[in-house]
Amino acid sequence: MALLQIAEPGQSAAPHQHRLAVGIDLGTTNSLVATVRSGISEVLPDKDGRALLPSVVRYTNSENIEVGWEAKALAASDPRNTIVSVKRFMGRGLADIGDLENLPYEFIEAPGMVKLKTVAGELSPVEVSAEILKVLRQRAEETLNGELSGVVITVPAYFDDAQRQATKDAARLAGLTVLRLLNEPTAAAIAYGLDNASEGIYCVYDLGGGTFDFSILRLTRGVFEVLATSGDSALGGDDFDFAIYSWLWNTHNISSLSPEDTRTLLTESRLAKERLTDIAVTDIHCTLTDGTQIQAILGRDTFFEITKPLLTKTFSPVRRALRDADLQITDVQGVVLVGGATRMPHLRTAVAEYFKQEPLINLDPDKVVALGAAIQANALAGNRSDNDLLLLDVIPLSLGIETMGGLSEKIITRNATIPTAMAQDFTTFKDGQTAMSFHIVQGERELIAECRSLARFELHGIPPMVAGAARIRVTFQVDADGLLSVTAREQTSGVEAHIIIKPSYGLTDSEIANMLTAGINNAEHDKRMRALREAQVEARRLLDATETAMSENGHELLSKPEWDAIWNKIYDLAETLMMGDSNSLEGLRKATDELNAATTEFAARRMDATIQRALSGRQIESIQV
Amino acid sequence: MAVTLTPTAATRVQKFLAGRGKGLGLRVGVKTSGCSGMAYTLEFVDEASPEDQIFESNGVKILVDPTSLVYLDGTELDYAKEGLNEGFKFSNPNAKANCGCGESFSV
């Protein structure tokens, strides 16, 4: 049984076509995926409950590619094949990348973008990023139980066209449809709902693991514009760990450390920093490989003092950005904190003092960008009706297509906001069917005869297949001007046909109102008619299938009395169907059930015969289940 | 004639409505599509239509339009967790057959 989520008014999706949309924060250090469920934006954790996915990809000799925590754990032992912080190389040439000598990778100059040489061959940063996106995509699809219809991926506000294009390419490689790339500071502002707040200037102070970004945004009529960005690409939370680490060196007279001890001590420093967010004093103790004990007590005061220069360093880009945008501190209406490092209490105090107002902190600073991206993705996928970013129009009457039995299948339901696009898969009814006729209708009634006919077109060249095997995707698209275009495409062969219509042409408001009330007043009648038509279609399908089966191998598999009994039931059902009385629903269902029952044994024998044919002459080992 | 919520489902709806910051209640409906004929829809409600039938269950208002009600009468909604996913589950006495995924049904 599927589990449903609550949609915004008028935005329910048809089964199997939920517009699942997620927001992805593709970060330098960590990446996250989030979605909006029943109106609430939330980050999707992995099976172990971890929300963050380290942006680390490790390539091995085999086909196997490790992404995330496992890859991160092995980064130190296999640095050349473990790609860390790949975001820094996206859309960059060799000349754009600084400190090449400090990076453990073997770079290859390639047109447009560098490549990295690993055991798995030469890889572009786009391919590496795609591996991270694939893991997030899989996590989202497993959690939400379906294919994603679109994603919003965040990028730093300063990313240029090449870097943005590289991010889009990575998404396409991971099989994702990008609805939009969103600037990270804008995503953070959206997560706090600032797009619904009063117009004005907002600042985003983002201190990540290894980078500091500061952005100034201006909100006008629900749209954010980036006024200025600045930052320090070599300043982040890691530097605060390093400050504690250096302090330990000085207080314990350490002269040299093995790489392993360095890592141990840095990890202990990071944990101490994190503990100091909640408590005033913390213990640090660890044992080095040579048995030396490191013991220390670190208080907030000391921590604040040794990291004060780092904090001060963040305010020079802040000043620069304000100057670039020609703004005063008093112009700033709100400050958003992003990045795990902004949990540090003295940082929050410093920011509050600098801007003379309390920063926004009630969302998890690690998740806030992904949460905002998810909100935007949800709106862009068309799951939100009160979309205040765009002035929207709605469709007055449902648009649908005629299906077997003269029933209307609604593809776009009334009150859907335009522009919109919806797709549904249909299949063939008869074996070897090579063409399909489409009848597009408008209205709320169940029967085609009672809806308004808009247009007809045909799709030819469907490859001959058994009934039900072809997959014909019918897409209804209504543009901002209310123009409907319908496309039918057979998925395996790619044959396509389409038509363009203006559905509201020639309908007055009172006619629309009449069509709506008729739908309500005839609910019971329409229900019965739909049931009857469905029963008729089912009966016809069963007759076709049984007759085909009988002529195929009825003679070999059935005795004379069995053969006769089935034919009797076929005649019974055909007769009931031909009578066409609208009251014969029960009779039709009964005759259908009887034919079904009469052919159960025959169907089982046919199955056995098929399996026997498939298995004869093969050894048990060669059969893979 | 009624459509009801289990206490668990009602608590979740109230939480979602509070998170959304507005809304009268929950709209339950059916839509003719899907692999097995009919499909359920579940939406927040900002404005009731004059023809809506309104039920109250465990403190939550449930709105159903008359065309849908003929397929939904007697339905109870529950809130369940399955693996990583969670959401609302329908038990509808009118449904004769469900499709494999349970998203659509026929009467």
Question: Same structural domain for residues A300 and A346?
Answer: no
Other beta carbons less than 10 A from residue A310's beta carbon: 19
Residue A202, CA distances (Å) to A344, A356, A362 in order: 21, 14, 16
Phi (first) and psi of residue A123, to 5 degrees = -125, 145
What is the number of domains present in chain A? 5
- Same domain for A335 and A202? yes
Domain for residue A535, yes or no? yes
CATH of the domain at A141: 3.30.420.40
Q: What is the pLDDT of residue B34?
A: 46
What is the residue whose two structure tokens read 């130190």? A76
Which position has the higher pLDDT, A54 or A511? A54
- Residues of the domain holding A42: 21-187
pLDDT, average across residues B18-40:
78
Domain that holds residue B52: 4-95
**Domain with B74 in it: what CATH number?**
2.60.300.12
Q: Which of B29, B39, B84 sits opposite A15 (nearest CB)?
A: B39
Residue A293 has pLDDT above 70, yes or no: yes
The answer, yes or no, to whether residue A515 has pLDDT greater than 80, is no
Q: Which of residues 40-69 of A touch B (CB under 8 A)?
A: 40, 44, 47
Residue B101 has pLDDT above 70, yes or no: no
What is the distance in angstroms between the Cα of B51 and the nearest Cα belonging to chain A? 8
Domain CATH number, residue A446: 2.60.34.10
Burial category of A82 from C-beta neighbours within 10 Å (exposed 0-12, middle 13-18, buried 19 and up): buried
Number of domains in chain B: 1
Q: Are residues A578 and A468 in the same domain?
A: no
pLDDT band at A390 (very low <50, low <70, confident <90, very high): very low
Q: Are residues A437 and A557 in the same domain?
A: no
**A389's tokens:** 């970013």
Tell me whether residue A13 is in a domain.
no
Same-domain pairing of A484 and A588: no
Residues 346-405 of A with CB under 8 A from B: 386
The mean predicted confidence, pLDDT, of chain A is 84
d(CA A440, CA A500): 11
Same domain? A201 vs A266: no
pLDDT band at A418 (very low <50, low <70, confident <90, very high): low
Residue A434: phi and psi, rounded to 5, are -115, -5
Record: contact B43-A12, CB cut-off 8 A: yes
Per-residue pLDDT tens digits for A6-21: 887 766 665 545 678 9
The answer to whether residues A257 and A352 belong to one domain is no
Specify the residue for token string 């269902």: A589
Whether residue A323 is found in the same domain as residue A357: yes
Q: Identify whether A419 is preceded by a cis peptide bond (ω within 30 of 0).
A: yes
pLDDT in tens, A234-253: 899 989 999 999 999 888 87
B42 touching chain A per CB within 8 A: yes
Q: At what angle do helices A600-615 and A523-557 cross, to 10 degrees?
A: 50
Measured distance CA(A470)–CA(A472) in Å, rounded: 6
Convert A175-193 to b/e letters by CB count within 10 Å (16 or more is b). Answer: ebebbebbbbbbbbbbbbe
Model confidence at B107, pLDDT cuts 50, 70, 90, reads low
Q: Does B2 touch chain A (CB under 8 A)?
A: no
Question: Which residue in A77, A33, A22 sits closest to A55, CA to CA?
Answer: A33
- Pair A33, A77 in one domain: yes
A111 burial level (CB within 10 Å; 0-12, 13-18, 19+): exposed
Whether A502 and chain B come into contact, CB under 8 Å, resolves to no
A282 Cα distance to chain centroid? 41
Question: pLDDT band at residue A443, thresholds of 50, 70 and 90?
Answer: confident
Closest by Cα among B66, B81, B86 to B3: B66
- Same domain as A128, residue A103: yes
Question: Which residues in chain A have Cβ-Cβ distances shorter than 8 Å to B50?
Answer: none
Minimum Cα–Cα distance from B39: chain A residue: A15
Q: Given this model, what pLDDT does residue A307 score?
A: 94
Q: Kindly state the average pLDDT of the residues A105-113.
A: 83
Nearest to A464 by CA among A491, A427, A432, A421: A432
Whole-number CA gyration radius for chain B: 13
Question: Is A25 or A249 the better-scoring residue by pLDDT?
Answer: A25
pLDDT tens-digit map of B56-90: 999 999 999 888 888 888 899 999 887 777 889 88
Tokens of A263: 């890592």
Q: What is the pLDDT of residue A481?
A: 56
Nearest to A527 among B70, B88, B98 (CB): B70
Residue A88: the pLDDT is 87
pLDDT of residue A417: 65
The answer to the question of residue B100 being in a domain is: no
**B86 Cβ under 8 Å from any chain A Cβ:** yes
Catalytic residues of A: 25, 87, 184, 206
CA A207 to CA A337: how far, in whole Å? 8
A388 pLDDT exceeds 80?
Answer: no
Residues A471 and A530 in one domain: no
In a domain, residue B104? The reply is no
> CB under 8 Å to A179, separation ≥6 — which residues?
A21, A150, A151, A152, A376, A377, A380, A381
Residue A539 and residue A603 in one domain = yes
**DSSP single-letter state for residue A363:** S
Q: What is the mean pLDDT of residues A450-475?
A: 85
- Whether B105 is covered by a domain: the verdict is no
**Residue B107 is assigned to a structural domain of this protein:** no
Which residue's entry shows tokens 């680390």? Answer: A56
Query: Looking at this protein, which amino acid is placed at residue A503?
Result: P
Beta strands in A339-483 (DSSP E): 393-394, 399-403, 407-412, 417-418, 420-426, 435-442, 452-460, 472-478
| Residue A430 counted as domain residue | yes
